[in-house]
Every structure is written in structure tokens, then in C-alpha cells.
Amino acid sequence: MARRRSERMLVTKVTGVGEARHLQRSPDELIVEEPMSIQLDGTLIATTMRTPGNDYELAAGFCHTEGLLGGASIIGVRYCVDRDAVDGEFNIVRVETGGRAPKPTPRLGNVSSSCGWCGSEQLDDLCARLTPIPSSEAFDLDVIASMPDRVLGDQGLFARTGSVHAAAAFSRSGEVLLMREDVGRHNAVDKVIGSMLLDPAHMLPSQSDEQFGLFVSGRASIEMVQKAWAAGFSAVVAVSAPTALAVDAARRANLLLAGFVRGATFNVYAPERL
């Protein structure tokens, strides 16, 4: 069943100033934002506000990037059948591993942009769980500079609503492999990673001998680096700035982190030197 991702509403458009100001009623297209609950082997692990669409990818990607699968394979993803899917508005998604994943701790409350991070102590825990990205040939700086133009021109939802983020996986040559949009930056990234996890036509960077980069249309927060690292991306390219904790994580992950990528000018925060 196709889900509505945007909604048209009548708004008052204000143009001009002073006596030349003009008010006009006109339709505007707004992004839809709805909660989605994610269950792992029947246990509620998260509820996130997301744009409907690619829900299975979002659920699978979240379970992977949060380290909840413990190496177990996903054997199925479905809308919850414990209640009628229509009554539940297709907002409950269940990821199944047949009980092979570690038993998750139920999580109350919503996933937010901060994603529950509390600082350097949790970064130490992350480093204990993940191994650094293997060293390889650096990404071409021209490829990094070109990524916003390559990705953002295909943002269909953003063009209609102006209120969603994009994430994309790209190759060393700059080919955009897939792109996803969502009202939440972290959701867009999880949808990209979930697609690579579930689609036989793709594979996670950690499962491939090739290098892949992750593009994000907003800032590079710690959660963006965490998710990229968990999936095995070698580079994160962001339109806006990173946080200090994200830079620390990228350096410890041996991951290239570029921010303020807007044309020919950008900053490389990790590694410390090129």
C-alpha cells in the first residue's frame, strides 16, 4: 500500500512590504511526519518520527547501525500483524532474526536527533564495539566537492516541500548508488543502510572490497558518523558542519569526514592531515 508522503494545505502567502504587501490564499505542499515503532523479534526497541516510505529499510538500518543485530541475519521484515495494519496506519514494523539477535532492551520514548548520546564515555563504548575502517586510497577531493550537486538535484520531496533531508551512498568515482529522503537526518541514513542490507543488488560497505562514501544534506553529528562507521563507509560528506564529538569519532574510526561541502570549498576534519 502506497503511503502519502506529502499533503497539500491552503496557506496565506505574504509578498511585498508596507502598503505594497499582498496576501493571497494558495495551496502549499507539506511533508508528512508520523511516528513509527520498530520491534526486534517482538520487543519494542524504538519509536521515531519519520516520513512514510521505505519503512522496512528504516527498521533494518536502525537495528544494524545501533548494533542490535549482534551479527545475526535478518530473516524477515513486516508490518506488525498483532493488530490490523490499517488500524495501526502501517506505523509498526517488526524485524525478525528468529531470536538469533541478542535480546534487546525495551526502549521507551522517541528517538531524537541526539539519539541518546551522552558524550565521550559512550564513544569509548562505540570504539570497543567497532573496529577502525581499513586504510585505503583516499577519496578524490574533486569527487567530494561534487557530491552536493550530484545528490541534491534528485531530491524530489525536497523540491516539493523544502523540509526533508537526504542521504546517499556513493562510490569512489562519485556515482550515486542510492539516495533516500526523510524528515529526520538519521532516518534518511538508516534507510540508505537498510536498503543496502536488504537489497541483493547492493551490499554494505563492510561486506565489500570497494570503498563507499555517505553523503548527508545537513550537519555531521555523532550519530551520522556512528551509523556510517557501523555500516563500513570510508567517508562522510556533509553540507554543514560536524560536531566536535563527530570529528573525534571519525578520527578514531579512520574515516574521512568532510564538512561545509558547498562547491569547491570545504573542510576536511578527519584525518587530521591529508
Give residue 119's pLDDT: 57
> pLDDT value at position 115?
47
Q: What is the DSSP string of 53-109?
A: S-HHHHHHHHHHHTT-STTPPP-EEEE--SS-TTTTTT-EEEEE-TT-SPPPPP--S
Predicted local distance difference test score (pLDDT) of residue 4: 81
* Whole-angstrom distance, CA of residue 124 vs CA of residue 121: 5
On the 0-12 / 13-18 / 19+ scale of CB atoms within 10 A, 117 is: middle
Active site residue 115: yes
The pLDDT value recorded for residue 156 is: 72
pLDDT of amino acid 122 = 74
Write down the pLDDT at residue 155: 73
State which residues of the chain have pLDDT below 50.
1, 112-116, 118
For helices 244-253 and 120-129, give the axis angle rounded to 10 degrees: 20
CA 40 – CA 187 distance, rounded (Å): 17
Neighbouring residues of 221: CB distance < 8 A, sequence distance ≥ 6: 113, 114, 185, 242, 243, 246
CA–CA distance, 11 with 142 (Å, rounded to integer): 42
Digit-coded pLDDT (tens) for 212-268: 999 999 899 999 999 999 999 999 999 999 999 999 999 999 999 999 999 889 999
pLDDT value of residue 113: 39
Q: Rounded distance, CA 96 to CA 43, Å?
A: 10
pTM of the model: 0.88
**Confidence (pLDDT) at 87:** 53
Cβ contact 97:40 at 8 Å: yes
**Measured between alpha carbons, how far is residue 234 from residues 66, 71, 121 in Å?**
18, 20, 24
* Of the candidates 244, 182, 227, the residue with the CA atom closest to the CA atom of residue 63: 227
| Catalytically annotated residue among 80, 115, 118, 127 | 115
- Phi then psi dihedrals of residue 239, to 5 deg: -70, -35
User: Which residue matches cell numbers 568515482?
Assistant: 173
